[in-house]
Amino acid sequence: MRHDLLTLLRCPFCGTQPSLINNNSLVQESNHVESGVLGCACCAFPVVAGIPVMVTNETTTKAMHELEAGHPEAAFLSLLELDKTRTTAFRKLLQQDKPITYRQAVDILSSDEEGTYFFYRFTDPTYLLAKALLETISQESPLTAGMTLDLCGGSGHLTRVMTSSKPTKGVVLADKAFWKLWLATHFVAPECNPVCCDANQPLPFPRETFSMVTLSDAFSYIWQKRLLSEEMMRICEPAGAIVIPHVHNALGENFSAGLPLEPAAYQELLSPCNPHLFSDRTLLNDFLKCNTLDLKRNLTPETIGREPSLTIVATQQQSLFREYSLTQTDAVTGSLQVNPLYRVTRQGNTSVLTLTFPTPEYEEEFRACQQYLKDTVTVNADLTNPISLEELGSDAKDLMRRYILIDAPPHYY
């Protein structure tokens, strides 16, 4: 945790700014706090592995006692909330000689199919659409002026988009799952400021802090939608924007539907902030076919009808609601890797890639990716070894545009 992030934190319950308690749990170096305890007017919160945990429950109390007893590793393992077998496996992984990968870590840290969703996140249709929207809108004034919050941001796939594209004062990644924040800081978005907090409670930030608040593929899983809507509006600057890609529609069919509302209800919750509703299906179609994003097309709840999901942008900046022509960047910020959805076999000097879904459930949920991912692809290069940009030459850009190669964080898999 950056030391100066302290000025941005508020206790979710009493609202006061917590400060670091100077006891033997405190480990800090110049502007970085690795571990310690934060105290506010009403309670205390642990900072573990550089992540402030603004949650009060049995696990965080246990972690705080472990910190105070001088056992930061024990506090770290407690917050990961693993059973015995997975704790042993994770300890072993951390001790291995070669660098660990995101895939190895997520396989242990996630107890269910969420790990699959995260590992393959970089090319699924909801990610591609959210990425295009966030990349575009975050470049717009006045959103460039302030900090960004990626709320319920998981292990940081979209946070990475914003830390690499936005000329920003910083990006805060908030999620209730400590293990996801650790994956983000360790692999996916090392430049983000992680904060562990529960979006069903008041958010641990002061009024008007962020120029952009984004909540992707998560609103449907929040019970306290009314509280969260008010909270997002409180912490967003008056000239800022609340961007909510992929929210489930209670009138449509969805996998892992959560607790969705009807489009009119989402609109009502954000009504003081000028919410515009967009059809995910139309946005994705335009993006894939014409490389455009039409934010002029504000739909009524009736027009959204029974479409499974929608995107909401709420802002008083009317100028943001226009049509954007997108430019796909070819810059590589991490390392070029074969999209893990492809199985690669080498045949002489060529590589044959076959689209292979990890599970039948994944195939069913993200079937729309077949609009842009070909079943088989032959590439005149050896893709079974680390990819050489020299060998691929101008083909690299083309393969990236077709999502056959991805710009993955180092040590992703």
Ligand X SMILES: C[S@@+](CC[C@H](N)C(=O)[O-])C[C@H]1O[C@@H](n2cnc3c(N)ncnc32)[C@H](O)[C@@H]1O
Q: Report the interface residues with ligand X, using CB under 6 A.
A: 121, 130, 152-154, 157-158, 175-177, 180, 198-200, 216-218, 221-222
**Minimum distance of Zn ion from residue 39's CB (angstroms):** 9
**Minimum distance of ligand X from residue 48's CB (angstroms):** 17
Q: Which does 217 bind (CB under 5 to 8 A by kind): ligand X, Zn ion, none?
A: ligand X
DSSP state of 337: E
d(CA 45, CA 39): 6
Q: What is the DSSP string of 54-78?
A: ---SHHHHHHHHHHHTT-HHHHHHH
Phi, psi of 326 (to 5 degrees): -95, 145
* CB-based closest residue to ligand X: 154
**Minimum distance of ligand X from residue 199's CB (angstroms):** 3
Residue 247 vs 377, nearer CB to ligand X: 247
d(CA 54, CA 79): 12
Q: Which does 11 bind (CB under 5 to 8 A by kind): ligand X, Zn ion, none?
A: Zn ion
SS3 103: helix
**Minimum distance of Zn ion from residue 197's CB (angstroms):** 13
Q: Which does 286 bind (CB under 5 to 8 A by kind): Zn ion, ligand X, none?
A: none
User: How distant, in Å, are the alpha carbons of 18, 39, 177, 344 from that of 65?
Assistant: 18, 14, 20, 49
d(CA 73, CA 91): 10
42 binds Zn ion (CB under 5 A): yes
**Minimum distance of ligand X from residue 322's CB (angstroms):** 24
Q: Could you tell me which residues are beta bridge partners of residue 398?
A: none
**Minimum distance of ligand X from residue 201's CB (angstroms):** 8
Residue 149 vs 218, nearer CB to ligand X: 218
* Continuous H helices in 69-124: 72-80, 84-95, 102-109, 114-119
218 binds Zn ion (CB under 5 A): no
Asked if 257 and 229 touch (Cβ cutoff 8 Å), the reply is: no
Of the candidates 46, 29, 48, the one whose C-alpha atom is nearest the C-alpha of residue 37 is 46
Residue 175 vs 237, nearer CB to ligand X: 175
**Minimum distance of ligand X from residue 177's CB (angstroms):** 4
Asked if 176 and 198 touch (Cβ cutoff 8 Å), the reply is: yes
- Cα separation of the two ends of the chain: 26
Residue 199 vs 400, nearer CB to ligand X: 199
Of the candidates 94, 114, 98, the one whose C-alpha atom is nearest the C-alpha of residue 106 is 114
Q: Which does 121 bind (CB under 5 to 8 A by kind): Zn ion, ligand X, none?
A: ligand X
Q: Which of residues 317-346 bind Zn ion (CB under 5 A)?
A: none
d(CA 384, CA 175): 35
Q: Which does 131 bind (CB under 5 to 8 A by kind): Zn ion, ligand X, none?
A: none
Q: Which does 216 bind (CB under 5 to 8 A by kind): ligand X, Zn ion, none?
A: ligand X
**Minimum distance of Zn ion from residue 54's CB (angstroms):** 10
- H or E element in which residue 36 lies: strand 32-39
Q: Which does 51 bind (CB under 5 to 8 A by kind): Zn ion, ligand X, none?
A: none
Q: Which does 173 bind (CB under 5 to 8 A by kind): Zn ion, ligand X, none?
A: none
Tokens linked to 254: 């969805």
Q: Which does 275 bind (CB under 5 to 8 A by kind): Zn ion, ligand X, none?
A: none
Residue 72 vs 157, nearer CB to ligand X: 157
Taking contact as CB under 5 A, which single stretch among the options 33-41, 115-123, 198-206, 235-243 is the one that binds Zn ion?
Answer: 33-41
Of the candidates 165, 164, 189, 37, the one whose C-alpha atom is nearest the C-alpha of residue 174 is 189
Q: Which does 222 bind (CB under 5 to 8 A by kind): Zn ion, ligand X, none?
A: ligand X
DSSP state of 16: P
40 binds Zn ion (CB under 5 A): yes
Q: Which of residues 93-152 bind Zn ion (CB under 5 A)?
A: none
**Minimum distance of ligand X from residue 127's CB (angstroms):** 6
SS3 413: coil
For residue 288, the Cα-to-chain-centroid distance in whole angstroms is: 22
d(CA 288, CA 72): 47
37 binds Zn ion (CB under 5 A): no
Which residue ranges make up the site for Zn ion (CB under 5 A)? 11, 13-14, 40, 42
